[in-house]
Amino acid sequence: MTVTVPSPRGNIIDGFGYAKGLRERITTQVAALKADHGLTPCLVVVIVGEDPASQIYVKNKGETTKAVGMESRTITLPATTSEADLLALVAELNADKAVNGILVQLPLPEHMSSLKVIDAIDPLKDVDGFHIQNVGKLSVGLEAIVPCTPLGSLMLLKDAIKTHGNGSLSGLNAVIVGRSNIVGKPMAQLLLNENCTVTVAHSRTQNLAEVCRSADILVAAVGRPKFIKGDWVKDGAYVIDVGINRIDTADGKSKIVGDVDFDAARERATAITPVPRGVGPMTIACLLNNTLHATRLQHGIAAPQEA
């Protein structure tokens, strides 16, 4: 007699809890860096203008940085700041030995070139991992500072596949919906480095639902609420939802939802990140991880061996 054991579905990937654990490990390592080398990592966040969402992100980054024992500085510039003045500030921060990480919050006002500003940052202080040197290193498989959201997504994915699967990403079909420089493209590089077969889908992709249904790993980074439908999810897939979208609710309030129709997708997925409390908290935790990593790189200090 054949007994069919139903495979478990609908597990929730607890990004909030994972990020908390990561911040605790960072806190311990920051204390050790201070005790052993007299160093306190310092992260400087630069915000230009008054975009409300950016202001909230920057405030959160500052508070979380201090909470792990690092030094946090926030520099706020008016939206009318010239590109030349911003580049001069970046040069000053590059030269300041007490500064270990520099993050220029995006988007920048339209009169500035974000590519030019990012490329002015010392690659060793580029904790966003957006500098062309870090992008290039990641793409050829060299050690690089890796963008925070894809890095956090990969950590969650690996943990979920270890918990609910056979622990290996090798050979799995990964579909990433979204081709941004911040998430989609670096995510593709990271998954290629894990030996996945990677497809990057985007707004011009034909038969998107079909493409998504081929994914053992589905990463949604499109910035459109509940864009990925439940029946686009392959049975047993791992779903990583990078979206953070605010939508109005019937009671006149609003709430945050992801790029995936969570309830419907959960029925098919082996495991799925919720929004909120999924990928979001990992982004800041990985920023701190990158700041710690950058501090060590600048001082030639090896990372402690993982227990």
Query: Looking at the annotation, which residues are catalytic?
Result: 61, 105, 128
Which of the ranges 99-107, 222-230, 247-255, 261-269 carries the binding residues for ligand GUN, by CB under 6 A? 99-107
Residues 117-156 that bind ligand GUN (CB under 6 A): 128, 148-149
Exactly one of 30, 175, 182, 222 binds ligand GUN (CB under 6 A); that residue is 182
State the minimum distance, in angstroms, from the CB of residue 105 to ligand GUN. 5
State the minimum distance, in angstroms, from the CB of residue 45 to ligand GUN. 8
Note whether 103 binds ligand GUN by CB under 6 A: yes
Give the angle 83-89-90 at the CA atoms, nearest 5°. 90
- Residue closest to ligand GUN when measured from CB atoms: 106
State the minimum distance, in angstroms, from the CB of residue 145 to ligand GUN. 12
Exactly one of 48, 93, 104, 212 binds ligand GUN (CB under 6 A); that residue is 104
* Beta-bridge mates of residue 43: 72, 101
Residue among 42 and 148 whose Cβ is closer to ligand GUN? 148
Distance in angstroms (rounded) separating the CA atoms of residues 52 and 200: 30
Which of the ranges 63-71, 102-110, 157-165, 223-231 carries the binding residues for ligand GUN, by CB under 6 A? 102-110
End-to-end CA distance of the chain: 45
State the minimum distance, in angstroms, from the CB of residue 107 to ligand GUN. 7
State the minimum distance, in angstroms, from the CB of residue 223 to ligand GUN. 11
Residues found near ligand GUN in the complex (CB under 6 A) = 103-106, 128, 148-149, 182
